[in-house]
Structure 1
Amino acid sequence: MARRAQSIDALIAALNHLPGIGTKTAQRLAYHIIDMDEGDVAHLASTIVDAKHTVKKCRVCQNFTDEELCDICRDPTRDRSTICVVEFPKDVEALERSHGYHGLYHVLHGVISPSKGKSAEDISIDELFERLRTEDIREIILATNPTGDGETTALYLSGLLKNFDLQVSRIGYGLPVGGDLEFYDEVTISTALENRRILK
């Protein structure tokens, strides 16, 4: 069998590390990139590097932004008494598409996952509790995904939140267990928000 060029193998391996990209998809993408015009490849590479250098976490909610505060935190029309806690920035986008939520967010950038070596110290929990000490928050909506790790994280947070004088609710799921918010349609997400259950 003919040996593949080492640079192609390296590109496939790099693409294979991206979430949702299996070996065959990584191989297809690698060959597609190599077939692209050099200018298009340079543009793709510079766009990736530019995004990595310019995108940062919002000082308040930890969502991705290219400014100190994200658009949602700067928006004076948002309900500033409610924070919806999500796993990743993509979950904020999913909830915003539903047009059913008008409060603020907090992005954890992960979940507690002992099997993957992720603890509470590895996600943005300290920043959330700093907000509770400095902002007038009346409700926390825990909107982590209905996976084992998502439920573990929600349970951990609800335990810590018992020390605060506020309502804690868990987003309602009439959804398959093990799913991700980003894949749900707007109506399903809106209904889940309306049917959230009170934890405290």
Structure 2
Amino acid sequence: MNYPSRTIEEAVSEISKLPGIGKKSALRMALHLLKSDKQVAHSLSSALVNLVENTTFCTECHNISDQSICQICSSHRRERSIIAVVQDTKDVLAIENTGQYQGLYHVLGGVIAPVQGIGPNQLHIDALVERLRKNEEVKEVILALSPTMEGDTTAFYIRKKLAEFPIRISTIARGIPVGGDLEYTDEITLGRSILSRIDF
């Protein structure tokens, strides 16, 4: 792609490094910023620098936070006897958007994936064990991990690590999505849905 100036080429190159953004989308964004008031670009760059410089991780749950203890962990409205174990912050946001869960979280920072060189020691699994040792309030841990081979491996490993605690360990339900057709559902999901059936 030929660019009219080196500055636009540099901007497109940097913007296209973001996930899900190709060169054409990056060019559209760069041209939009160029046509906009300069304050728009300055506000964007300021917000990005602030994001990188001032974002930290909660010392309790390892979720992204502005302070050492995040808003969820410090809230008195949350149910402190339940902890949902999730892969990353995106999963926290997804669950929070349902409005159905009022417990706490524990963000692992990934899942066990030997092919990618990610082992249990690189995740916040030991921090979860320590958290449970210090907090006798916790009565249930929900393993809210994606139903993939890596997610299931991680859940199995965590289950073994938490065997010493007298708590309930559950997992999120897996079944047919609302609006889905049975004929297009894979056999494993359909089988689990039958086994995990609920009263009508």
TM-score normalised by L of structure 2: 0.75
Conserved 8 A contact 2:85-2:143: yes
Aligned to 1:152: 153
How many Å separate the matches in 2 of 1:99 and 1:133?
29
CA apart distance, 1:172: 0.8
Amino acid at match of 2:111: V
Supply the RMSD in Å over aligned alpha carbons: 2.4
1:46 aligns with 2:46: yes
Which secondary structure does the structure 2 equivalent of 1:162 belong to? coil
How many Å separate the matches in 1 of 2:4 and 2:83?
51
TM-score normalised by L of structure 1: 0.75
CA apart distance, 1:48: 0.8
Bigger relative contact order (CA 8 A; separation at least 6): 1
How many Å separate the matches in 1 of 2:22 and 2:172?
31
Which secondary structure does the structure 1 equivalent of 2:169 belong to? strand
| Identity between Structure 1 and Structure 2 (%) | 40
Aligned to 1:143: 144
- From the superposition, tell whether residues 38 and 84 of structure 1 become closer, same or farther in structure 2 (CA, over 3 Å): same
CA apart distance, 1:140: 0.8
Post-superposition CA distance 1:8-61 (Å, at most 9, x none): 444333333323334443343333334433221111001111122222111211
Which secondary structure does the structure 2 equivalent of 1:141 belong to? strand
Which deviates further from its counterpart, 120-129 or 100-109? 120-129
How many Å separate the matches in 2 of 1:67 and 1:88?
18
Aligned to 1:186: none
Amino acid at match of 2:119: S
How many Å separate the matches in 2 of 1:53 and 1:18?
18
Number of residue pairs the alignment of both structures matches = 177
Aligned to 2:173: 172
Aligned to 1:123: 123
Which deviates further from its counterpart, 140-149 or 44-53? 140-149
- From the superposition, tell whether residues 116 and 60 of structure 1 become closer, same or farther in structure 2 (CA, over 3 Å): same
- From the superposition, tell whether residues 9 and 152 of structure 1 become closer, same or farther in structure 2 (CA, over 3 Å): farther
Matches within 5 A, 1:1-200: 2=2, 5-136=5-136, 137-174=138-175
Which secondary structure does the structure 1 equivalent of 2:118 belong to? coil
Amino acid at match of 1:122: Q
- From the superposition, tell whether residues 2 and 26 of structure 1 become closer, same or farther in structure 2 (CA, over 3 Å): closer
